[in-house]
Amino acid sequence: MDVVEVISKKSPLPSNQIHASELSKCSHPPIREIACCSTVGFSRQGYYQYWQRQVQGLNFDDQLLELVKQVRADHPRIGGRKLYLLLKPEMDKRGIKAGRDAFFDLLSTHKQLIRRRRRRIMTTFSRHRFRKYPNLIKEVILLRPNQVWVSDITYWFTGYACLYISLVTDGYSRRIMGYTVAETLEAINCKEALLMAYVGISRKSVSRILEKFKTMHIHKWRIPIDELAAKLSPVIRGVMNYYRIGAAKASVYLWNQLKLRLLKWVRWEKRLPMEAARSWLRKKFRQKPALFPHWKLVYP
């Protein structure tokens, strides 16, 4: 029978962990640990210190795991970093030397790490009892912009409140054509986003309107501002009604250009510099805020 087999029957340790001194005592009884130490190249003191550290390390691991269990009894979901900071004073008191990485390795070895919960927010729920409309673009191949628009509503948590964003997106280019941010889910918000998208595709229309204002030569009209408003208001109101851009944010550029035309009229009519002309026009706005229809969208 082999020497290792004899010792393995007497020793509770596995055969691959049987100490070298036990082998030496079995095969050469007179040889002690000191001879084995000198043979393998380390001192007797180092030999005993090594085994003392092993036993002490196991003892420290057991103490540390016991401390972890005590804390987890009251806080089952406490994480490793908080645990380490919480137990550090007690570890120093007991003389347990373990850094953060060693602490995490110990928790990982004994399966004490807490898995992070993945917080999935469901924004689309189709298993409802209401009517489900068919997918009209399921077989459609998108070949150009503005062929298909897709609308959606999402939410945005802020420090002020939960805001709802209505979006209209081009299906081909993924460009946001229109949007509205509101505190409620009222249908009017979706309508405003759709109106903004409707204006967004009509750059040629905006160019034609600006060209119309340019050819009118507003700055050369030598009439009072009330008569000027009486002549321009039907045109402005007709543009707002026809292109449906009365409340759309995309029309701000158009009305800013008209504001510059009115400023130019004030400079020519009143012989004023730019800042004085702007002050004069704003004074008229404070007196008659509804003089021009576009003043409810753009401050003069």
Report pLDDT digits (tens) over 28-38: 444 555 556 55
Q: Hey, is 155 helix, strand or coil?
A: strand
Q: Hey, is 270 helix, strand or coil?
A: helix
pLDDT at residue 211 above 60?
A: yes
Contact 185, 153 (CB under 8 A): yes
CA 176 to chain centre: 18
pLDDT at residue 14 above 80?
A: no
Condensed to tens digits (0 to 9), the pLDDT of residues 180-194 reads: 999 888 988 898 888
pLDDT at residue 27 above 80?
A: no
Please indicate whether residue 296 or residue 162 has the higher confidence score (pLDDT).
162
User: Which strands make up the sheet holding 149-157, listed edge to edge?
Assistant: 149-157, 162-170, 176-182
Lowest mean pLDDT among 7-21, 191-205, 241-255: 7-21
Lowest mean pLDDT among 22-26, 111-115, 126-130: 22-26
Pairing outcome for strands 176-182 and 162-170: antiparallel
Contact 182, 189 (CB under 8 A): yes
Report residue 39's pLDDT band, with 50, 70 and 90 as the boundaries. Answer: low
CA angle 76, 78, 79 (to 5 degrees): 135
Report residue 15's pLDDT band, with 50, 70 and 90 as the boundaries. Answer: very low
Model confidence pTM above 0.95: no
Lowest mean pLDDT among 40-49, 153-162, 165-174: 40-49
Mean pLDDT computed over every residue of the chain: 78
Measure CA of the first residue to CA of the last residue in the chain; give whole Å. Answer: 107
- DSSP letter at 292? S
Please report, rounded to a whole number, the percentage of residues in the chain having pLDDT higher than 90: 6
Classify each residue of 204-238 as buried b or exposed e, where b means 16 or more C-beta atoms within 10 Å of its C-beta. Answer: eebeebeeebeeeebeeeeeebeebbeebeeebee
